[in-house]
Amino acid sequence: MDSRQWPCPTCGEDQDFVQPPCADGHTADGGECPEWICADCGTAVITGDAAVLPVAVAPARAA
């Protein structure tokens, strides 16, 4: 499985990120799924471009 290292906002340090099985068809056309999860804590991040740091998926919560 492909993995990459990014600073995890939850762990507070660099962690390996792996791609969960894509259920949204991102890879259907040979593309890369933008979803990655921290292998340590499971925090999900989404990156539309591997060259940029992913943005943490903040929980949707009304103030």
Instruction: Point out which residues bind Zn ion (CB under 5 A).
Output: 8, 10-11, 15, 22, 24, 26, 33, 35, 38, 40-41, 43
For the stretch 11-47, what's the b/e string if a residue is b when 16 or more beta carbons lie within 10 angstroms of its beta carbon? eeeebebebeeeeeeeeeeeeebbbbbbbeeebebeb
Identify which of residues 43 and 47 has a Cβ nearer to Zn ion in the complex: 43
Identify which of residues 33 and 63 has a Cβ nearer to Zn ion in the complex: 33
Cα 40 to chain center, whole Å? 12
Identify which of residues 36 and 63 has a Cβ nearer to Zn ion in the complex: 36
- For the CB of residue 21, give the shortest distance to Zn ion in the complex, in Å: 9
